[in-house]
Structure 1
Amino acid sequence: MDERILIKPYAPSDVDATIEIFLRSIREISSKNYSAAEIEAWAEVEDRRSWAERRMSRPAWMAEIAGNRVGFSDLTSDGCLDMMFVHPGYQGIGVATRLLGRVEEEARTLGFRRIYTEASRTARPFFERKGFRVITRQIVKKRGQDLENFLMEKFCT
């Protein structure tokens, strides 16, 4: 694991970086697993203010390397790892692993027995390697498109 990866609490000034990471990750990485129409429906942030408020309403973290924001994640009050995205230029070097470790640490601190996520086709293999299991396949409607994802869970140890 790359020790240069710093995980820090999300700050209000991180809003634009998280939006950029979210959009680029979907458009450049998830586009391998979803159609152009599905990507177009998914890769949109309608309200920057709502996006920022959502990040601030829960524990959330930024991953940085040499001062560059390279990924983010969060955890809802019911144990949902709601979002985890890594910048396309920093895939495969341990950013998601470090973020997941921080999410799991917080879940244990909060006394959660399990965490869950709704993983995309793209993210499913990562979560499976990290001990999550698929509960069910789901179809989520986004702007007229049916997007497949997977409800997954992992029990906290």
Structure 2
Amino acid sequence: MTVRIRDFRDEDADDLYRITQAAIQRIGAQAYDAEQTAAWAAGHMNVQRFRERAASGAVILVAVCKDDRPRAYTLLEPDGHLDQLYTHPGWTGQGLALRLLAAAEDLAKKWQIRLLYTEASELAHPVFLRAGYELKHRRDFTIEGPSGPVPIYNYAMEKHVG
């Protein structure tokens, strides 16, 4: 399987939305309950959001195969925050997330960012650990769900680069 990492294009927005929803609902459901995954997915319901984030200075790196269709992506903000890392459920275990994290690290070094940081889900945090991120602490908080506030958690993680 030949995979390459490229920058986001406007026409990727629909695919990235589908990847996000599939990952949350199918992969996220392995660690979070139905109410938590519904609330999490509801926070990612806007296709236009990808274009807006790219226009605001964030870089979205996309893992694609021969057909140039996105299979996974990450979003790196100019301050070193990795806001999202999602892989389509049919493509997990292929090393795409690690390749994206390496590409984000290369970009951070180019931008002279010394610290990458993220809030990783229960299922994503092992990938970040394999990529050399340090687990700082578990974050317990609430997000707004269809029926009101829903308790959920993730992990604050960081990696010194450059």
TM-score of the superposed pair, with normalisation by structure 2: 0.90
Alignment RMSD (CA, Å): 1.3
Corresponding position of 1:7: 5
Deviation at 1:147, TM superposition (A): 1.4
Shift of 1:48: 2.8
User: C-alpha separation between the residues in 1 aligned to 2:55 and 2:100?
Assistant: 17
CA-to-partner distance for each residue in 1:98-157, whole Å, 9 max, x for gaps? Answer: 111110000000101110110000111111111111112112322111110011001114
2:142 and 2:11 map into 1 onto residues whose CA distance is: 30
Contact 1:138 1:151 in 2 (8 A): yes
Structure 1 position 69, deviation (Å): 1.4
Q: Any idea what SS the aligned residue of 2:158 has?
A: strand
CA contact (8 A) 2:17 2:46 kept: no
Distance 1:71 1:138, change over 3 A: same
Q: 1:49 aligns to what?
A: 48
**1:30 CA drift (Å):** 1.2
Deviation beyond 2 Å, 4+ runs, structure 1: 44-52
Q: Which residue matches 2:161?
A: 156
Residue 62 (structure 1) aligned with residue 67 (structure 2): no
- Separation (CA, whole Å) in 2 of partners of 1:85 and 1:55: 16
Cα distance, 1:47 vs structure 2? 3.1
Unaligned runs of 5+ in 2: none
SS in 1 for 2:159: strand
Count of residue pairs brought into register by the alignment: 155
Q: Percent identity?
A: 30
Q: In the alignment, which residue of structure 2 is the partner of 1:130?
A: 131
Bigger shift: residues 131-140 or 119-128? 131-140
